[in-house]
Structures are given as C-alpha cells and as structure tokens.
C-alpha cells in the first residue's frame, strides 16, 4: 500500500500529512497556510488542493492521521497484570511509546495542543477528539474492571478513575510544552503511580 512512488495518491497524501505536521511545528496554527505546507513538500500548492479542497478539509484529515498513529502507538500487552498494564499505559500516554514512534513526542504534543485550541470553534475537531478520548477511556476502564474482578483493585467507579488519569495526563503534557517543564510530566507519573498502588489497589492486595 502506497509504495509505488511519485504518482501514488496514498504516498502523496502521506507526504502532505508529513508536510502539514512539519509546517504546524514550525509556524504554529495561527500562521499555517496552504503555502507554508507546500513549502515543506517537494510539490506545488496545486497538488495539495487536488487532494483537499480547503485548508479545513486538510486539517480534518490531518487530525485523523495523528489520532490513528496515536491509537496504534498505545497498544498494551494484554498478558500483563492490571497494575503493570495501567502503569505502562500511563507512561506511554505521558512520554510516548517505548520504541520511538513516528513523531517526536514534544512536537506532537505541541501540534495536538494547537488543534485542540481550535476545537471550541470546530465541531469536526470536537467529534474526532471525543472519539479519541472515548477510545483511551475505554482502555483504562477495561483494565480497571479487570483489576476489580481479580480483587487487585478496590471497588471504584472505573469511569472516575479513567477521568482522573486522562485529565492529569492531558494537563501534564500541556504544561510540559507550555511551561517548558519536563519535570511536571515526571512528577505526574510518580503521583499517578502512587495513586494506583496506594489508593486504587485493594489494601489486602498490597505487599503480596
């Protein structure tokens, strides 16, 4: 798929997505134009317009592309126990996948923040971001439910636990790039680990 060189529309679309990513990282959302995307790309603005009628269409496709890559990167090893899986998921969400992914984690967080800031004005962005949120939320809920069934976790509302983890991770990543502080992500990881081990885990399951 998409390995036939220049003329292949899949290759071209992939190249446009990469160019959009680079243009967004370089110029920021406020200064992102079709021209600035074409400048990151060995083809003309006309080629971009052939595939995407408007900048809006292009950005909707771009967000889908980012979120697909994100969902591929957060798969966890189903054979691990719930505590290990939950902690691995938190670490991957906070710091990126263990094997270096397709994107630099800092740049990706910055690019996602730019798109998020448009979401209050853009129903299609909200729809895509909501779908992504619900996918990750469902992963956390499944792990918490399994841990509760096994008696490892105490009897909690899985959705409340998922909300706490996802909001803390989202907030930490945004502070990381907006304050320039990697230590906020490190401290969040430590705090969430403490919450999982000292609060979420059933007291009887401690020290086993």
Residues that bind its own copies (CB under 8 A): 28-30, 110, 113-114, 116-121, 125-126, 129-130, 133, 156-157, 159-161, 163-164, 166-172, 174-175, 177-181, 184, 187-188, 190-192, 194-195, 198-199
Min dist CB 61 to its own copies, Å, is 18
> Would you say 137 or 146 has its CB closer to its own copies?
137
Burial level of 98, CB count in 10 A (0-12/13-18/19+)?
Answer: exposed
Q: Using the 8-state DSSP alphabet, how is residue 153 labeled?
A: B
Min dist CB 189 to its own copies, Å, is 10
Min dist CB 78 to its own copies, Å, is 26
> Would you say 80 or 183 has its CB closer to its own copies?
183
Burial level of 188, CB count in 10 A (0-12/13-18/19+)?
Answer: buried
Residue closest to 169 by CA, chosen among 83, 90, 87, 84: 90
> Would you say 45 or 116 has its CB closer to its own copies?
116
Residue 152 dihedral angles phi and psi, to the nearest 5° = -80, -40
> Would you say 4 or 35 has its CB closer to its own copies?
35
CA dihedral 80, 84, 87, 93 (to 10 degrees): -20
Min dist CB 48 to its own copies, Å, is 19
3-state secondary structure of 119: helix
> Would you say 3 or 30 has its CB closer to its own copies?
30
The sign of the CA dihedral 150, 155, 160, 161 is negative
Min dist CB 31 to its own copies, Å, is 8
């Amino acid at each position: 798929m998409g390995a036939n060189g220049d003329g292949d529309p899949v290759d071209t679309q992939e190249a446009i997505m990469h160019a959009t990513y680079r243009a967004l990282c370089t110029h920021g959302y406020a200064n992102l134009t079709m021209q600035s995307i074409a400048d990151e790309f060995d083809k003309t603005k006309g080629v971009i317009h052939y595939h995407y009628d408007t900048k809006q269409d292009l950005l909707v496709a771009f967000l889908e592309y980012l979120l697909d890559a994100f969902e591929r990167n957060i798969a966890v090893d189903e054979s691990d126990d719930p505590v290990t899986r939950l902690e691995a998921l938190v670490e991957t969400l906070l710091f990126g996948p263990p094997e270096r992914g397709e994107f630099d984690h800092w740049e990706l967080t910055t690019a996602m923040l730019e798109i998020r800031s448009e979401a209050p004005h853009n129903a299609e962005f909200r729809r895509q971001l909501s779908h992504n949120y619900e996918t990750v939320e469902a992963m956390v809920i499944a792990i918490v439910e399994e841990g509760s069934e096994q008696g490892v976790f105490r009897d909690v509302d899985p959705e409340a636990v998922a909300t706490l983890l996802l909001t803390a991770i989202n907030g930490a990543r945004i502070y990381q790039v907006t304050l320039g502080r990697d230590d906020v992500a490190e401290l969040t990881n430590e705090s969430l680990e403490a919450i999982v081990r000292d609060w979420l885990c059933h007291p009887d399951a401690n020290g086993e």
